[in-house]
Amino acid sequence: MFDSFDYGWLNVGSLILGLVAWFIPVVSIVRYKKRKTKFPFVLPLLSMGACAGALWLQISFNNYLVQIQDWTALMDTTSTLNWVSAVLLIVTILLNIVSAMVIHKNIISE
């Protein structure tokens, strides 16, 4: 089905989704006073969804490396991927916690 698919795009998509996962709560924090929303939980869910998508794309790329039996590439990238995935997940969670606290404080003060 994807015979001509360039699997390198999985890494690009993962990077973009990872940046989106961080961008959404940062914008939410910066613009919390200007935005009046009935559904304050939507943005953190989108952020966590982007984080999950980024991690899934990396898992898919590793699966591709296993399928083509590129063991050298797996051995070279697995430890870095493990570290970067942890950073992505931890920073995304922390940014969403701060965003939720700011939004909650804004809702209570109204």
Residue-range domain boundaries for the chain: 43-110
- pLDDT confidence of 83, banded at 50, 70, 90? very high
- pLDDT confidence of 69, banded at 50, 70, 90? very high
Residue 90: φ, ψ to 5°:
-65, -45
Task: Tell me the pTM.
Answer: 0.85
Q: Are 104 and 44 in contact (CB under 8 A)?
A: no
DSSP code for 69: T
For residue 71, give Cα distances in angstroms to 63, 65, 75, 78: 11, 7, 6, 10
For residue 98, give Cα distances in angstroms to 4, 8, 35, 101, 104: 43, 33, 16, 5, 10
Q: For residues 86 and 32, what is the distance between their CA atoms, to the nearest angstrom? A: 27
Of 30-34, 63-67, 95-99, the poorest mean pLDDT is in: 30-34
Q: Is residue 78 scored above 70 in pLDDT?
A: yes
Kindly tell me the burial class for residue 44, based on how many C-beta atoms sit within 10 Å of its own C-beta (0-12, 13-18, 19 or more).
buried
